[in-house]
Structure formats: C-alpha cells, structure tokens
Structure 1
Amino acid sequence: MTAGPAPVTVRLRRAGHGDAPLRVLLLHGLAGGANVWDDYLGLAGHGHELWAAELPWRAEAVPDWSRHPPAHWTARAMAQVPGGPDVVVAHSFGAAALLALLDGQGMPAADLAPAGVDAFSWHRLRGVVLVSPFYRADPGQFDWETISYYLNGFDRILADGLRVRSGGRIVGELRQEMALKVRERIGPYGWTGFFDTYLRTPYLDTRRLAGPCLVIGGEDDFAAFPSDSEALGAALPDATVKILGGCGHFAMIERAAEFAALTDSFLGAAATRTRPGPGGGCRTPNQHAREQF
C-alpha cells in the first residue's frame, strides 16, 4: 500500500464524566465517515466517553483496504481506544465488520477466542448496538437477483446516503453524479469486500455472541432491509430489535432523537454491568491488527 492517510484513526469526540465513564466506540458504514454520528453526539446523554473511528472504507476510500478482511480494520479501531471499548455502536457495513470480528472471520488463529469463551468476554464488551445491519440467516436467501440488486443498484443506495447526509440539499443530477463518483472511489474490490462480508453472515456462529445487543433498523431501509435486522435479532442469544417507522438506512440522522433515546437507554444498562476481565481469557484486540498496513 502506498503512503497516504492512516487507514484507521480513532478520535475522542466527547469526554466522559465521573470516575469510570463507559467507553463507547462508533463505527461508520461503507462510504461514510465519523461525521455520520454528529446528530447523535449532540443528543447523547449520560456522560459516556464517545470515540468515533474513521475506517478505510470511508467516503475517501483508502486504496487497497480490501486486501485485509473487514474484521482486521475493526480490530485496529478497537485497539486505538485506550483500554478498549466497553460498547461498540456500529452502522451498516461497520456492523457487518464488527460481527465478522466477533465471529473471528479472517482473523489469525492466535486472536480467536478459545473454545467455551464467548466473543463478548473475549473482547471485553458489555454490549453492542447494531444499526441497519446486513444479515441473512440462510445461504439460500442469496441468489443471482440479490447480486444484481446490490451491484446494479449500488449507485441508488449511495445516492440515498448523500440525500440523507446532506439534509436534502444535494438533489437531482448533481446527487446522481456524486453517487457515481463515490461508487468509482469504492471500486469493484471495495464492493466485493462489502458483498463478500454480507454473503458470510449466514455462517456467523451467533450462539457465541452471547452479550447484550440492541439492533436498530429502519422500516423504509432498501439497503439493509428491516427483515435483516429482525433475522439477526432472532439469531442472537440476547438481542432487542427496534424497527423505526418512516426511517431508512440512517436512523442516527433520520430519527436522531429516537435513536439517541434507544441507544442511551442501552448504554445506561451496559454501565451497570461488570466488564469482563483479563482473568476470563480476554485480551485487548488485537496484536495482529497493530502490524503494518
């Protein structure tokens, strides 16, 4: 990989309050950025410590990021939070990348949880919030029509993201032109990295993801359908699913106040739980993730 911006950076966006504030890491989706959380940051309560990552699949698209699996980059982001995050809030492809990490997809054997240790204990997490996650429970749910939808309609999905994030200010041909430019920056390898991660979701061993999860979907989401959120919630051992009416793919923007209330309630409960300790076979993720690239 040529020299350039760091593939992963994590920045403290809001300091916490109290002796031991909850450390929360925010992960964005494909072609997004840390600014997707700005509305939530303005509404979040409880005084938790909020960190936001810039991931290599951001809008500027770090070249060649797909040489490594999404779990690799997620682990690097988690490793940059001092002491590691207590809770991770992840959107869209970021949620898929987080699930891949928790399942150990594409990770070195040395970084996998031993038999009998659940993924939340291994990564010392008190909870996870998954926003508009991509998930299907059965490989048979993927067919050629599914591939065509996400490949040939990719620019439509990107254009809707531009519409929401711009507050409707980018319209018409300009929005479509910008969507096509973003699609070019992502490129075939970036798209394939996204879709391959989606294709692998039926193989997630969700029984090992035993910690508390909040799954938030949008009733009108045509990228990660509400059925994906419902199926994931049904597959996870300890999950609450909320489908927001009149909401698309960006609940943290489109339904910012409702999203903040749901997330803050979940974080408040997480703060009362004891964090898994190193004595339980846990480690700070991820030594491999600190290596080059």
Structure 2
Amino acid sequence: MSQATGHLPRWTDIDWSEHVHDIRVLDRSVRYVDYGSGPPFLLVHGLGGSWQTWLENIPALAGAGHRVVAVDLPGFGGSDVLAPGATFDAHSATLLALIDALALPPVIVVGHSMGGLATIRLALGAPERVAGLVLACAGGIALSERRLALIVRGFQAFNGLFSPAALRAVARRPRLRRLVFRLGLYDTAGLSGQLAREIVPLMATPGFSDALVAGAHAAADSGADRLEGPTLLVWGANDRILPVAQAEALAASLPDARLMVLERCGHCPMFERPAGFNSALVGFASELEAAPRAASSSRG
C-alpha cells in the first residue's frame, strides 16, 4: 500500500553500494539499483542520465511502500554499450528482459525524456507487464521535424563540447552549471552541488551519440498516441526542450491519462521539483492500487 512513513532518509545518508547490482541480460551487463519493498516502480533515465538521476526520488517512493528499481540503459552509467547498428527498440527490450530477470510483477514504469520513449515502446509491446506508465517530460510526444532537428543538434553540440574532465568541472562550479544547464532547467539552483557531482560527470558516456540518433528516428513514430493503459504525464510548465503544450495534447488524446504540470520547473522535474514529483507518483500508484479493489467490490 502506498503510504508515507514518518522519517525518510536523505539520499546522501544511504550507502548505495549495498543496493547497486549488475546483471547479465541479452548478452550484456546492465547496472541497476534496487531499494525498498512493495509494489514496484521501474525508473528509466533520459539521454546522458543514469540511475543517479533519481536520487531525490528513490527514498521517497520506497518510504511510501514501494520497491524501486532504477536502471542504467545500455551505453549509460555502468551498463554495457549496445552492439553497433542496434535500433532504439534494444532499450525497451533491455527493460523487458530486466523485468523478467528480476521476476517483477506488473510494474509502474517511469520514463524521463529519452527514457520516456523507451517506456512507451515497452508499454505498447508488453502491456501485461506494465501496471501504469509515467511520462516525465518524455520523448516520443508529437514534435515538428524542425523542432526535433533542433533538439538533436543541441544535444550533439553538448556531447561534442564536454569531456569527462570538463563535466567534472561543471559539476563543481555553480557558475558553469548555470551556463550549461540554463536551457534544460528553469532554475539551475534546482540542481544542487551534491547531486550535480553524482550525475553530471556520467553524462559523458559511450552510448550518447548512438542513442541520440536512434532515438530521433524512433521518435518520429513513437506510438504514444496508441497507449491505452493508465498513464500519468508529469511536466515542467517551463520545459523549453519539450513544451508542455504537446503533453497537454497527448493527455487529451489518450483514453486513460492524467497530466500533472509543475510550475517553475523545466525539463527535469524529478530533481527540480522532487516533492511535487514524488507526490504525483505516489498518488498515481495509490489510484492504481484502489482500482482493482473497487472493481472487486462492485462485483461482490
């Protein structure tokens, strides 16, 4: 059952080495963190991300009575890269293989940005494994070819400019963080120095370019408009990469969708507005848990 507990540890107080694992699926090593117990969430980061993207969220979701699995997609964080020429669907196949390997019951899948596109493909391909879908400023929403091309060029420039050493410097210096992330974040103060030191250096990753190109091709026909299961869209009102208007249009077109818009928030609501983001996810989980009970009562 989703319910808040009295005291939640800060992510900085947790020894994450006890919860990080590597597992072999589809002939490659995949890294994930596994924390808490109860009905599961599966958290899927975006381009340049890693499981650490969710550090502000994992303790809160676990404290509300959930098992939380956060994965490094192939080519990101501690996971092996994909084979040359792999299509974007290899990411959703990896997610399904991980769900199978961990013997997870139907899971609430949360995808941010590019990870949202992977979770859309998962939900369409294996709907029986997905209890609910959360799209957080997610790729795969309808965009014009021009806007998609601009996004791709912007990320290509980012990847070309920043070496691991440069990103470590960005993580340490607030002025550089403001310069580098002013497009993605409403207020770069939302990315604390502690969190930046965990996630920013990992943005220099061997899977970045291939995932960007494959994701751009896949985004042209994501299938988002064919989603039928329970879906929550969580969006920053000030997202300058994927505007909230597109999220509003998608939510209105789906048969079982709801939209949560977080004010004063850009493209990364999970750490720009963690309290509101966590509350939205816990509330969605509670709604899903209540639905079978209501159906059972109506039959009785």
Say if 1:22 and 1:271, in contact at 8 Å, map to a contact too.
no
Question: Is it true that 1:67 corresponds to 2:86 in the alignment?
Answer: yes
2:260 aligned residue (233, 242, 254): 242
Runs of 4+ in 1 over 6 A off after TM superposition: 178-181
Structure-2 change in CA distance of 1:189 and 1:256 (3 Å)? same
Deviates more, 1:81-90 or 1:243-252: 81-90
The secondary structure found in structure 2 opposite 1:216 is: strand
Cα deviation digits, residues 65-97 of structure 1 (max 9, x gap): 561423222222322332334211221111101
Output the amino acid matched with 1:13: Y
2:272 is matched by which residue type in structure 1? Answer: E
* CA distance in structure 2 between the partners assigned to 1:181 and 1:251 by the alignment: 19
Given the alignment, which residue of 31, 37, 44 partners 1:9?
Answer: 31
Alignment partner of 2:58 out of 18, 38, 41: 41
Match of 1:100 among 103, 106, 121: 121
Where structure 2 has 5 or more consecutive residues not aligned to the other structure, the ranges are 1-23, 181-198, 294-300
Q: Which amino acid in the other structure matches residue 60 of structure 2?
A: L
Q: 1:205 to 1:52 in 2, by over 3 A?
A: closer
In structure 2, do the counterparts of structure 1 residues 263 and 181 end up closer, same or farther at CA, with 3 Å as the change threshold? closer
From 229, 243, 253, the equivalent of 1:225 is: 243
Aligned residues: 240
> Does residue 25 of structure 1 match 2:42?
yes
CA contact (8 A) 1:31 1:61 kept: no
CA contact (8 A) 1:135 1:228 kept: no
Number of the residue aligned with 2:11: none
Secondary structure at 1:200 match in 2: coil
Pairs within 5 Å for 1:187-266: 188-201=209-222, 204=223, 206-207=225-226, 209-266=227-284
Q: Which moved more, 1:52-61 or 1:36-45?
A: 52-61
Equivalent position SS for 1:67: coil
Q: What TM-score results when the alignment is normalised by the length of structure 1? A: 0.68
* RMSD over aligned Cα atoms: 3.6
- 1:99 maps to a residue whose letter is I
Displacement, 1:195? 0.9
1:229 alignment partner AA: A
Identity %: 23
User: Cα–Cα, structure 1 residues 187 and 27, in superposed 2: closer, same or farther, change >3 Å?
Assistant: closer
What do the CA deviations read for 1:207-240 (whole angstroms, capped 9, x no partner)? 4x32211100112222222233223212321111
Task: In structure 1, list runs of 5 or more residues that go unmatched.
Answer: 105-118, 276-293
Choose between structure 1 and 2 for higher RCO, CA contacts under 8 A separated by at least 6 residues.
1
1:31 counterpart SS class? coil
- Report the equivalent of 1:172: 176
